[in-house]
Amino acid sequence: MKDSEPFFNVFEKTPLFLVGLFILIHISTLLTSIPMDHGVLKPLYQTDMEVKSHIFRLFFHGFLHANWGHLAINSGFIIVFGTAISQRNSLILKHNSNVLSVSVFFWIIFLSGVISGGISQWIWWYFTDSYYYSTGAIGASAGAAALFSSGALFLGGKKKVYEYGLAWTVLNCVIGLIDNFLYLNIAWPAHIGGYWAGAIIIVYIQKKTDI
């Protein structure tokens, strides 16, 4: 395969910038507790935090990681699928100037996953007595899942988006069942919410741009 093919060329600026940002933020969490104190997503009714604090956490929790392994896994997903959709979007721009710029498209997908994942986590917390009440939720997994669903479209069209989505949902539900016994501390509802947010957006964009 040629070096320029999406899954082998990892030099797209936006995914690499995001990974670099993850690293800087994680280093800051090792030096001070401030990012974790003010960034971890918490259940809406667990604390007396103001609404603006919850809104900030809804965005910022997607840039925090528990450890270097957690960061490495999410970064791998983002580099692979972020590069794939960025390069594919670059090709589309050559033929359709109405398509969003590469960086804007990437950030819309990623942040929609983070936000939808956080909301999904809130909903899960609301209806269940969850172990996460004491720890909150962090990580870019939901944003990475949104990029994964967008990449699936370019791999095989809407059929792949739905097939991978079904497999992803089942996998994370199994993780949720196991978590009841092993306390893996994985925000699996956020993973599901992030994937389907990315899927809805990319399918909508496909209809509008005929990608």
Chain segment 135-144, per-residue pLDDT in tens: 788 889 999 9
Residue 186 lies in a domain: yes
| Cα distance between residue 118 and residue 68, in whole Å | 21
pLDDT band, very low/low/confident/very high, at 45 (cuts 50, 70, 90): confident
Question: How far from 111 is each of 29, 61, 82, 185, CA to CA, in Å?
Answer: 21, 11, 12, 22
What average pLDDT does range 18-42 have in this prediction?
A: 93
Residue 5 lies in a domain: no
- Please name the helix (run of DSSP H) or strand (run of DSSP E) that holds residue 144, with its range, or none: helix 141-182
Residue 123 lies in a domain: yes
Residue 139 lies in a domain: yes
pLDDT band, very low/low/confident/very high, at 10 (cuts 50, 70, 90): low
Question: Can you give the residue range of the structural domain that contains 85?
Answer: 13-209
| CATH number of domain containing 173 | 1.20.1540.10
pLDDT of the residue at 4: 45
Residue 6 lies in a domain: no
Nearest of 74, 119, 85 to residue 14 by alpha carbon? 85
1: pLDDT strictly greater than 60: no
Residue 60 lies in a domain: yes
Tokens of 159: 């059929």
pLDDT band, very low/low/confident/very high, at 7 (cuts 50, 70, 90): very low
Q: Is 155 in contact with 166 (CB distance < 8 Å)?
A: no
What average pLDDT does range 14-34 have in this prediction?
A: 94
| Residue 123 zone, left/alpha/beta (φ > 0; ψ -120 to 50; rest) | alpha
Cite the beta strand spans of 33-148 per DSSP E.
none
How many structural domains compose the chain?
1
Tokens of 157: 């069209």
Task: Render pLDDT for 131-180 as a digit per residue (tens, 0 to 9).
Answer: 545 578 888 999 999 999 988 887 778 888 999 999 999 999 999 888 77
The alpha-carbon radius of gyration of the chain (Å, integer) is: 17
Tokens of 65: 């990681």
pLDDT above 90 covers what percent of the chain? 48
Residue 1 lies in a domain: no
Nearest of 105, 133, 106 to residue 45 by alpha carbon? 133
Mean pLDDT taken over the chain: 84
Query: What's this model's pTM, rounded to 2 decimal places?
Result: 0.86
Which amino acid does the sequence have at 59?
F
Tokens of 209: 């741009």
Residue 199 lies in a domain: yes
Task: Render pLDDT for 85-131 as a digit per residue (tens, 0 to 9).
Answer: 888 777 766 666 666 678 888 999 999 999 999 999 999 888 887 65
Question: How far from 4 is each of 11, 147, 157, CA to CA, in Å?
Answer: 10, 19, 21
